[in-house]
Chain A
Amino acid sequence: MSASPRKTDIGPPNFEKFLPPVVKTNYGQWKYHEILKPGVMVHVAASGDKLYTVRAASPRLLSVATIRMFAALADRFTGGFLRFTSRNNVEFLVSDPANIDPLIAELKKEGFPVGGIGPSISNCVHTQGWVHCHSAASDASGVVKSVMDDLYPHFANMDMPGKLRIAFACCLNMCGAVHCSDIAILGIHRKAPKIKHGDVPKMCEIPSLVSSCPTGAVRPATVDGLQSVEIIEEQCMYCGNCFTVCPAMKIADAENDGISIWVGGKVSNARTEPKFSKLAIPFLPNNPPRWPEVVEAVRNIVDAYAGNARKFERMGEWIDRIGWPNFFKLTDIPFTRYHIDDFKHAGETFRRSVHVRQV
């Protein structure tokens, strides 16, 4: 083994090796699909062949023990074939419909509920949080677990007017897909990094530290006779890049870090164009382990949407129809100065007409 040459640049395995026979035979020949019940759909090919999909939630953060458990379930029920979705669900690709219910029962027993297809709340796309990232303003996994425990009935039942996608990112770098979600939960820092001037010359290279800041807020400075840096606070938008290159620029702040909530984004082109999510709640505190304020706020928005939107209407389409003033009224969320854009191109969101619903 040690004698074999080092392999590089082979790329990923060819997906064809991993396709179930029914997919290989009917590749590109699917005719229609039907959702049979929550979390279960059937795709029917022109040939008449059928492929059943059972979709289960996962926390994304998976141990190898669970990966082995999924593999064992696949061996028992699908001939060994499974896939994951873009929202971190796991899908079992079943050929024999008799296997569907026993598979669902096993998944439930293991703690992986089935659902997330059709007009439901699918899995929550999220980032690393305190589990792994250095710039996190909140934990991703804990917030997602708390929010989804609460919204679980909407994952397991198709009881929403349309699709409702929730995403979480733990800082404004938004590594996770949050800017275009029906509800985006976003960790935020609210203070510029605190500089440990004594450590800067020891731990950091000042030119690369200065150039790391995307807004040019970090400037070289001499502090108490030592080479260090200063931050122009008005220019800092709390991205944590300076901390990435210099551990003496700590950005985490237990009391000032927290969570903001954004609504009405979508990526699909169905009916209306893709849209960004817009600010609903500027700040909620970090309150681990269960973040009750965040859970409550998300449920409130989900309930307002579920109770008022029309069939197929996404969150953003509903709000566009009723108007933002009504959104704030129906959800009882206070409207503040923070809701008014004051970054570049801010004026694009000012109302330039008297098209106002007067009440």
Chain B
Amino acid sequence: MSEERKKRETPLLDELESGPWPSFVKEIKKADTAMADDLLGVLERSYEEKIGHWKHGGLVGVMGYGGGVIGRYSDLPQDFPEVAEFHTIRVNQPAGWFYTSDALRTIAGIWERHGSGMTNMHGSTGDIVLLGCKTQELEPVFAELTAAGFDLGGSGSDMRTPSCCVGQARCEWACYDTMGACYDFTQTYQDELHRPAFPYKYKLKFSGCPNDCVASVARSDMSFIGVWRDEIKVDAEQVKAYAAGGKLDIQKDVCDRCPTGCMKWDGAALEIDNANCVKCMHCINAMPKALAPGDDRGAAILIGAKAPIVGGALLASVFVPFIKMEPPYEDIKELLSRIWDLWAEHGKNRERVGEFIQRVGLGNFLEQIGLDPVPEMITAPRANPYIFYQDTVEDEA
């Protein structure tokens, strides 16, 4: 089959086949489909001209869904007819990105039969990205995916595909079951995921500890970061082993780097003032065999991260300092629905919840959803005196 197609000359891209890092150019060539040939052709054109050749187009999708497919068209359809339509299908990944070889082959097979043979493992949101689908193939791909137990992810102004770190499946630091929570929330909110009805996107991300391996603090409207409330577990023998091992200077590399200075090391025993520990993970990261998060575990919920568009980037901020993460997560879902109701009613078009909170004020926002303000939400109280007092005494007219 590949014999019959005329290979395009791609001298610029060919230079990216060499070198120790895996080559995406080799990948496009390996896909060995007519669509991949034209993808390579149009990309070579971009490398020559230093501009892209894609455009958005009319709405595309599968029946009954408002999200999950991103329409993409070439602006050079006459030169590269096979990629005239080259849509993205977002397929909701299994939590933690675990697969069996059979599951991967199932997806590979579907995509060989219907698409370009190119994927992203994975898109930045977390989805499996099937890259390059013609409009007429969308429904057949969807039918085969659902028959195999897979479904689409989100796009547009909907709940986006939730994602999570590997958590308790492999990480000793996970303070709750991130994969279980991610799967549970994804299943609960299938309608919100597939049918955009929000002012803008809403992302949930689940990290098992403050190392935040899915970057939830930077990338999600609602971030669940595992933490503990009791004492760091210390295995005194293992601490001594680290000290004797010679690779780690416990005073310099561990105690001196603790952000609150709450650790003491006298050369024989490690003492931690747990009341002043801010759960930063540094000491635990440095001595994984000796130290571990405590037993009273849960998560902190942070809210409102967003990218620069429109009003500038925001990191998420603390919303609930500690909550037990126990299925079926009724208290959290209750809170989430109050946030969604308020934001859906009063948020402007394309206003992320973080921007919405900045516009209306966190104090107002908390009051509307019925959450009490606590000092853990801020780094310092306000320094400006422009206070809008609510509890003033009215004049008797």
Binding site for B on A (CB under 8 A): 1, 4, 6-15, 17-19, 23, 27-28, 30-34, 43, 51, 53, 57-68, 70-72, 74-75, 80-86, 88, 90, 93, 111-113, 125, 127, 129-136, 139, 141-142, 144-146, 148-149, 152, 155-156, 172-177, 179-180, 211, 214-215, 239, 241, 243-245, 247, 252-255, 257, 267-272, 274, 276, 286, 288-290, 311-312, 343-345
**Contacts A71-B105, A85-B97, A270-B210; A61 near B120 (Cβ below 8 A):** yes
Residues of A within 8 A of B52 (CB): 129-130, 133-136, 252
- Other than the known A12-B150, A30-B171, what 11 A-B pairs have Cβ atoms closer than 8 Å? A15-B94, A59-B22, A74-B101, A130-B46, A130-B54, A180-B315, A271-B282, A288-B47, A290-B16, A344-B311, A344-B312
Across chains A and B, the number of contacting residue pairs, with CB separation under 8 Å, is 350
Point out the residues of chain B lying under 8 angstroms from A14, CB to CB.
94, 183
B282 engages A32 (CB within 8 Å)? no
Q: B72: shortest Cβ distance to chain A, in Å? A: 6
Given contacts A71-B101, A84-B122, contact A30 B170 (CB under 8 A): yes
Instruction: Name B311-328 residues within 8 Å CB distance of A.
Output: 311-313, 315
Residues of B within 8 A of A252 (CB): 51-52
Within 8 A of A (CB), among B127-149: 131-132, 143, 146-147, 149
**Contact call B288/A272, Cβ cutoff below 8 A:** no
Cβ of B391 < 8 Å from any Cβ of A? no
Are B21 and A57 within 8 A (Cβ)? yes
B215 contact from A134, A156, A177, A254, Cβ within 8 A: A177
A254 touches B24 (CB 8 A): no
- B273 in the interface (beta carbon within 8 A): no
CB pair B215–A267 under 8 Å, yes or no, is yes
Residues of A within 8 A of B172 (CB): 30-33, 43
Q: Which residues of A contact B211 (CB under 8 A)?
A: 268-270
Are A173 and B309 in contact, CB atoms less than 8 angstroms apart? Answer: yes
Give CA–CA (A257, B108) in the complex, Å: 36
B230 within 8 A of A: no
| A243 contacts across to B, CB distance below 8 A | 55-56
For residue B280, which residues in chain A have a CB less than 8 angstroms away from its CB?
269-272
Expressed in whole angstroms, the Cα–Cα distance for A134 and B349 within the complex equals 22
**Selected A-B contacts with CB under 8 Å, 25 pairs:** A4-B147, A6-B146, A15-B95, A18-B100, A32-B292, A60-B121, A61-B119, A63-B27, A63-B30, A64-B108, A71-B105, A85-B97, A85-B166, A86-B215, A130-B47, A134-B55, A145-B23, A174-B313, A177-B124, A177-B219, A268-B212, A274-B212, A288-B50, A289-B15, A343-B312
User: CA of A239 to CA of B245 in the docked complex: distance in angstroms?
Assistant: 53
Find the B residue at minimum CB distance from A74.
B101
Tell whether A247 pairs with B54 under 8 Å between CB atoms, given A7-B146, A142-B47: no
Complex contacts, A344 vs chain B, CB 8 Å: 311-312
Contact of B166 among A58, A83, A177 (CB under 8 A): A83
- Residues on the B chain within 8 Å of A146, using CB: 16
* Interface positions of B from 1 to 42, Cβ below 8 Å from A: 12-13, 15-16, 19-28, 30-32, 36, 39
B269-293: CB near A (< 8 Å → 1, else 0) gives 0000000000111100110110010
A172 touches B169 (CB 8 A): no
Interface centre among B46, B150, B315 (most CB of A within 10 A): B46
- Distance of A274 Cα from B219 Cα, bound (Å): 12
Contact status A152-B39, CB under 8 Å? no
**Least CB distance, B357 to chain A, in whole angstroms:** 16
Closest beta carbon of chain B to A70's beta carbon, Å: 7
Q: Of the candidates A15, A112, A131, A290, which one forms a contact with B179 in the assembled complex, judged by CB atoms under 8 Å apart?
A: A15
A250 to nearest B CB, angstroms?
A: 9
Contact status of A267 and B121, CB under 8 A, knowing A12-B150, A17-B100? no
Which partner residue on chain B sits nearest A151 by CB separation? B21
Q: What 1/0 mask marks residues of chain B from 86 to 118 whose CB sits below 8 Å from any chain A CB?
A: 101000111111111111110111011000011
